[in-house]
Amino acid sequence: MSAGAAHAARGAGAGAGARALVNARLLDPAGGLDAPGGVIVENGRIVAVGAEVTAEAARSRGIAVENILDCAGKWLLPGLIDMRVFTGEPGFEYRETLASASAAAAAGGVTCMIVMPDTDPVIDDAAIVDFILRRARGTSKVRVHPMAAITQGLKGAHMSEVGLLKEAGAVALTDGRKSVASARVLARALAYARDFDMLIVQHVEEAELAGPGVMHEGELAARLGLPGIPRQAEIIALERDLRLVEMTGARYHAAQISCAESVEIIRHAKEAGLPVTCGVSINHLLLNEHDIGAYRTFFKLSPPLRTEEDRVALVEAVNEGVIDVIVSSHDPQSADTKRLPFAEAEFGAVGLETLLSAALSLHHSGQADLSRLIAALAHAPARLLGLEGGTLAEGAPADLTLVDPHLSWKVEESALHSRSHNTPFENRVFEGRAVLTLVAGESVFDYHAGA
């Protein structure tokens, strides 16, 4: 029996806001946990977890009956941490605010958003980091941590104030949608970030080779008459970056990979002991280039959707742990940037609200291992960014997602909480979704209460 559960069993008085979720299937890959049981939450933290946490144990601890939720076998996961979220705040509030993104996050079981610096002004200054954190405290339902720009103004030339940004609360550095193109600039940024133990997160794309490309270069692009982005644009960028990691010893994370070759490159780098990790967007695990169909711009993504073979390789890499993190790559775009000829439309798709359900579909179809999925959605981002959370361990923040694994729901553009509705999963029926989302023990979304 764990210490916390023993404590619970002794029936000590319950602390502030104490509540219990019992009779759940506890899924916590960080602790190797997949077993029936419950958790007790006090003062915003998990104070007891395990099979011993039953309704009786909660009552004997002094928790009122109305604060004990019988989960009836539903799944209890650590709240998801989405490592790649674009909002429009500040600068493009008509697309998305921190508040609207957080509503989408809560509805999707995401309890922590890592927001990208591609705002106006760019998050490349401690004052903007502070602004984001204050706005988030005032308006966001879920936790928010910003990543700051590697280079000032995302221009790829001059390093931003890494130390001051970190002090202000930035959790990593990235140039967001852009890749740091100059090897010299990136090498220096890596060397400098290393001194502050800041993770460098890179969009891996050789911009010169990608050129004006708008989709995967291959037969389909040739047929549609659209300029392609060859897979080599990613491969070359990734291989070059890893040489610089080797040179500097800095921690490096490839934000999203899209091709089978990249999986092998990361695998070898890890085997060689380099401090390298990588992510993948949920879109690239479910979709391929053929989903573009008749120039459907909601499937115009960066990196582009690639072939079915690539998709399968990426899913397998999640199973094997070569890919560490799954992100939504939530990128709200309005009608005026999407209802255009394919080549003119912006890249990007919203995804906070569908991330978890889409990941569950990979489990239901037997493609992906459930505990690997949860690890990649919660524990791995926490570990990489040095955040608490991503686990159901005692003492962890009570950021929890209760999942009804078989609840069937249809994605309807108009029902999405995000201010922009550019979802690639419109009208898809998913099996399973978040039905209750808690941040610091407080409910921020309750599916059945319609909130």
Partner 1 sequence: MERPAILNSRHLLGVAGLSIAEITALMDLAEEYVALSRQREKKTNLLRGRTQINLFFEPSTRTQSSFELAGKRLGADVMNMSVKGSSVSKGETLLDTAVTLNAMNPDLLVIRHQHSGAAELLAQKVSCAVINAGDGWHEHPTQALLDALTIRRHKGKLENVVVAICGDIRHSRVARSNIILLSRMGARVRIVGPGPLLPPSAERLGVEVFHSLEEGLRGADVVMMLRLQRERMDGAFIPSEREYYRFWGLNEERLRLAKEDAIVMHPGPMNRGVEIDSSVADGPRSVIREQVEMGVAVRMAVLDALARNLEREAAA
Tokens 């080549």 belong to which residue?
A: 343
Q: Is 218 in the site for partner 1 (CB under 8 A)?
A: yes
* CB 297 to partner 1: min, Å: 9
Q: Is 219 in the site for partner 1 (CB under 8 A)?
A: yes
Q: Is 295 in the site for partner 1 (CB under 8 A)?
A: yes
Among the candidate windows 169-177, 218-226, 280-288, 434-442, which touches partner 1 by CB under 8 A? Answer: 218-226
| Site map (CB under 8 A) of partner 1, residues 339-358, x = contact | xxxxxx--------------
* CB 422 to partner 1: min, Å: 15
Name the CA dihedral angle for 122, 205, 347, 226, rounded to a multiple of 10 degrees.
150
* CB 426 to partner 1: min, Å: 14
Closer of 153 and 211 to partner 1 (Cβ): 211
Among the candidate windows 3-11, 73-81, 193-201, 221-229, which touches partner 1 by CB under 8 A? Answer: 221-229
Closer of 243 and 339 to partner 1 (Cβ): 339
Three-state secondary-structure class, residue 327: strand
* Residue 141: CB atoms within 10 Å: 25
What tokens appear for 17 in the block?
Answer: 């806001």
What tokens appear for 235 in the block?
Answer: 């491969």
Among the candidate windows 186-194, 214-222, 316-324, 373-381, which touches partner 1 by CB under 8 A? Answer: 214-222
Three-state secondary-structure class, residue 330: strand
Q: Is 308 in the site for partner 1 (CB under 8 A)?
A: no
Q: Where are the beta strands (DSSP E) in 74-177?
A: 75-78, 80-85, 110-115, 143-146, 173-174
* CB 298 to partner 1: min, Å: 13
Q: CA-CA distance, 83 to 398, in Å (whole number)?
A: 19
* Residue 65: CB atoms within 10 Å: 8
Closer of 196 and 342 to partner 1 (Cβ): 342
Among the listed residues 3, 35, 64, 222, the single contact to partner 1 using CB under 8 A = 222
# chain residues binding partner 1, by CB under 8 A: 21
Q: CA-CA distance, 154 to 110, in Å (whole number)?
A: 27
Alpha carbon 151 to chain centroid, angstroms: 23
Closer of 195 and 309 to partner 1 (Cβ): 309
Q: Is 230 in the site for partner 1 (CB under 8 A)?
A: yes
Burial of 225 (0-12, 13-18, 19+ CB in 10 A): exposed
* Residue 341: CB atoms within 10 Å: 10
Three-state secondary-structure class, residue 199: coil
* CB 219 to partner 1: min, Å: 4
Q: Is 226 in the site for partner 1 (CB under 8 A)?
A: yes
The residues binding partner 1 (CB under 8 A) are 217-219, 221-228, 230, 294-295, 336, 339-344
